[in-house]
Chains A and B, each alone.
Chain A
Amino acid sequence: MTVRQIALPVLLVAVLAVLPFFASGTLLNFLVSALIIALGAQGWNLLAGFGGQLSFGHAAFFGTGAYVTAILQIRFGINAWAGMAAGIAIGAAVGWVIGFLSFRARLRGSYFALVTLAFAEVLRILANAAEFTGGAAGLLIRLQPGFGNMQFPDRGVFLWLVLACILLVLLLTAWIERSRFGAHLVAVRENEDAARALGVDVLATKLRAITLSAAITAAAGCLYAQNFLYLDANIAYGTWISVEVLIAAIIGGLGTVLGPVVGALALHGVGEVAKIAGGQITGIDLVIFGAVLILSVAFVPSGLMGLRRLVKGGRP
C-alpha cells in the first residue's frame, strides 16, 4: 500500500470524524444512517465491484448480523461487542454457504442475482415466522446507555465507531486491490475461463470474496441493530437493504475503494434534498429521488469516483 493510495480514505474519514464536534443531532443521525449503508455497500462492492458477482440478496448477511447480535444480547445477555463479533462470524458463514451452493452450481450474472434474492426472501419469511427471532413482533433492544451495550450518551461516539469500521474496510479494500487475491478476483471478473487457465482456483477465490463481503455487510447489520435498537424481518431481511447497498456502490463507482462511501453519502443526501424540494404532496420527493437516480446513471455512468477521474483528466 502506498501513501498516496491510503491518503484519500484517511482524509475522508478524518473529516467525517471531526463533525461530531459541530454537527446537530439531525446531521449526526443522517451520517450514522448513511455510513451504516456505506459499510454494507463496501461489502457488496467487494464481491460485485472486484469479483463481478452482482448480488441482489445482501440483506441475507445484513439481517443475519443484525439478528445474531440482537438475539445474543436480548436472550442471553451477551455483551454487544461480543455479539457483534458473533454476528459478523455467522454472517460470514451464511455468505460461505450461499456462495458454495450457487458458485458450485456455476450461477453467474442474472442467475446469481436472482438466487441471492431468493435466499434473502427465504430468510425473511423464516425470521417472520420463527419464535426465537421474535416472529412478526420483532426484537427490541432496551435503551440502556453503557459501553457494554454499545450505547453512548453522546451520539458522536457511535459515529466514530461506524467510521472506525469503515476505515478498516477502506484499508482492507485498498490492500486487496494490490494483493494477489485481488488480482485473482479481477481475473475471475474479467474472464472466468481465462482465469482458470492461468491456474486461478475460481471457486475458492469467489468463495473467499463472498465470505469477506458477507462479513462486512453483517457488521453493518450489527451496527444497525445497535443504533436503532429495533428489528423485524422486513427491516433486517427486506429487499430495501439489498437494493440500497447496491445503488450506493454503483452510484459511487463500482470496484473503487472509496465509491461505496461516497455513493451512500450522495444517495442519502439526495434523499434529504428531495424531501425538502418535494413539499407537501406525498410521494413527490421520491419521484425526484428516482429521477435523479436515472439522470445520474445517464450522465455519470461510471459512478461518482469515475467523475473524479474525469475532472482530473486521468484515465477514464
Chain B
Amino acid sequence: MTDPISRRAALGAGVALAGLAMPRILRAQPAVVKLGILQPLTGALAQDGELGRIGAEAAAAAINKAGGIQALGGAKLELVVADARSNPEAAAQEVEKLQAEGVAAIVGGFASPVCLAASQAAARYDLPYVVDVGVSDQITQRGLTNTFRFAPGFGQVTGTALQNLAKLNEAAGKPCKTVVLVHEDGLFGSGLAKLMQTELPKHGFEILETIAHPTPARDMSNVALRIRSLRPDLVIPSSYYGEFVLLARTMRQQRIRPKGIYAVLNGAASNFRFVKEFPDAALNVMDCNHWHDPKNAEALALKKSVEESGKFWAYNIPLNYSCVKLVADAIQRAGSADRAKLTQALAASDFTGHIMPYGLTKFVQGQNQGARPVNTQVQGEDIKVIFPEEVADAKPVFPVQG
C-alpha cells in the first residue's frame, strides 16, 4: 500500500519552493532520493510537528536549488511527509509506509515516545532514523545502530542547564539562593524535577518546593499563589506551551517578580508567539533549550524567510533543517542511498554544514557529541542567546530588577 497523496504533497511543496514547478514529464527524469519526514502533524503535538516540517522542507528546497546531491549526479531530494498523529502507534505504522515508499532514511519524530517507537520500527528494516528533537536518553541507549540523534539528549541539556545556571548566578554575584520548581507531570518535567532535586543543592541552591501540574491544566492560579507565598529568588518551570503561558501571565497578574525565571526545555520560553502576544509576561524569561546559531548567516536567512511567510520561528525549524542537511551530506559521503552505506556514513560523519551552535558532528552510540543546548532570554521583543559567551548575541539581564 503506497500513499500517493502524501508523496505528491511533499513533491508539490519541495519542488515549488525550489522554483522548479514545471511538469517533470517534459524533461529527462533526474534521479531522486526519497527521504521520510515523520512529524506529529495532527493531535496534541501538531503545533511542533508543523514547525518541524517547515524546517525539513526548507532544507530540501535549498539542497535541490543548489543542484541536488552531487555524488548521485545531482539527484533531487524528494520528501515523503508522514503524520505521526502525536502517538507512537501511528508513528510506527507510518514507518511501515515510509519503508514501502522506499525512503533512504527518516528524519523527525519530535516527541520522545514517537521517536522511541518509530526508530524501533525502522530498526526492523535497518532504515536509518535521525531524531530531530526527542530528548529522552532511552532513545540512544537501546543499542539500535540505525538511530542517530543530532540534538542533545535530556541528561546533557539538564546538566548543561545546571552548570550554566550556576555560572550565571556566580557572575552576577550570587543573587539567587532559593528556588521553586514547577513542572508538568509527564516524561519531560518529572525527570527534570528529579534531577534538579539532587543537583541544585550541590550548586548552593535551596529548593523551597516542587510543584507538579498535569497537562492540560485548566488553571495555574494556585501554582502562582504558592510561589507568591514562598517568595523564591528563582522559579524554574518546565512545562508545555499552554501551561507556561498561563503561569507566566498569572504571575505577572499577581505581581510576582522573582529575580529570575529560568526555564529548561520549556515549551513557551523560546517561542515567538508567546513573546509577541504577551511581551510583559515574557520579558526576561530565560530558557536552556535548543536554538539556532545566532551568528550563522544561513540560519538568519532562514529565520527571515520563515518570518516573512507570516510564521513564527522556533527551534524545531533549524533542527530539522540541519538534520535533513546532515542526511543529504551523508548520502553524498556514502555516494549512495543504500541503507547500510548511509548508516555507516552517518556513524562516521563529521558534518559541519548545519545551522546549530554545535561545531563538528560526531556520533558515539548514535548521540551527536558536538550537540549542546544554549541559554536564551527574552529581551525586548526578541529572543537572544545569552550563554555560552562564544555564541551569545546579547548580555544576560540577571538578576531581574523587580
Contact = CB atoms under 8 A, between A and B. Distances in A.
Q: Which of A30, A142, A228, A235 has the most CB of B within 10 A?
A: A228
Interface in A264-290: 272, 275-280, 282-283, 286
Interface string A25-56: 11111100100000000000000000000000
Q: Which of A140, A277, A286 has the most CB of B within 10 A?
A: A140
B6 to A, nearest CB: 8
Contacts of B336: none
B87 A143 contact: no
Contacts of A280: 5-6, 9, 12-13
A138 B113 contact: yes
Interface in B188-206: 188-191
Nearest to A281: B9
Nearest to A241: B89
Contacts, number: 94
Interface string A133-144: 001111010110
Contact of B96 (A29, A125, A136): A29
A136 B144 CA distance: 22
A235 B187 contact: no
Nearest to B114: A230
Contacts of A230: 88, 113, 116-117, 120
A228 B41 contact: no
A310 B6 CA distance: 38
Nearest to A27: B1
A177 interface: no
B4 A137 contact: no
A143 B144 contact: yes
Interface in A207-236: 228-230, 232, 235
Contact of B5 (A129, A136, A232, A279): A279
A137 B88 contact: no
Contacts of B4: 276
Size bracket of the B interface: 35 or more
Contact of B42 (A128, A240, A286): A286
Interface in B1-51: 1, 3-6, 9, 12-13, 41-42, 46, 50
Contacts of A286: 42
Q: Which of B5, B136, B214 has the most CB of A within 10 A?
A: B5
Contacts of B100: 24-26
A118 B214 CA distance: 16
B97 interface: yes
A144 B34 CA distance: 29
Given A142-B142, A235-B87, A29 B187 contact: no
B255 to A, nearest CB: 33
Nearest to A279: B5
A142 B144 CA distance: 10
A228 B100 CA distance: 19
B350 interface: no
A235 B88 contact: yes
A308 B229 CA distance: 67
Contacts of A143: 120, 123-124, 142, 144
A128 B187 CA distance: 9
B93 A29 contact: yes
Given A26-B1, A235-B87, A280-B9, A136 B138 contact: no
B190 A272 contact: no
A278 B5 contact: yes
Nearest to B138: A140
Interface string A57-93: 0000000000000000000000000000000000000
A269 to B, nearest CB: 11
B186 interface: yes
Given A232-B113, A279-B5, A286-B42, A137 B187 contact: yes
A29 B92 contact: yes
A282 B3 CA distance: 15
B5 A282 contact: no
A274 to B, nearest CB: 11
A232 B9 contact: no
Contacts of B12: 280
Given A136-B185, A228-B88, A235-B88, A30 B123 contact: no
Nearest to B116: A230
A174 to B, nearest CB: 30
Nearest to A155: B124
A135 B190 CA distance: 8
A125 B113 CA distance: 17
Q: Which of B46, B124, B136, B144 has the most CB of A within 10 A?
A: B124
B369 interface: no
Given A137-B112, A140-B142, A282-B50, 6 more contacts: A26-B1, A275-B3, A278-B5, A280-B5, A280-B6, A280-B13
19 contacts: A26-B93, A26-B100, A27-B1, A30-B96, A33-B89, A137-B136, A138-B113, A143-B120, A143-B124, A143-B142, A143-B144, A228-B117, A229-B117, A230-B88, A230-B113, A230-B116, A232-B113, A282-B41, A282-B42
7 smallest A-B Cβ distances: which pairs? A280-B9, A29-B96, A136-B187, A136-B186, A282-B41, A26-B96, A26-B100
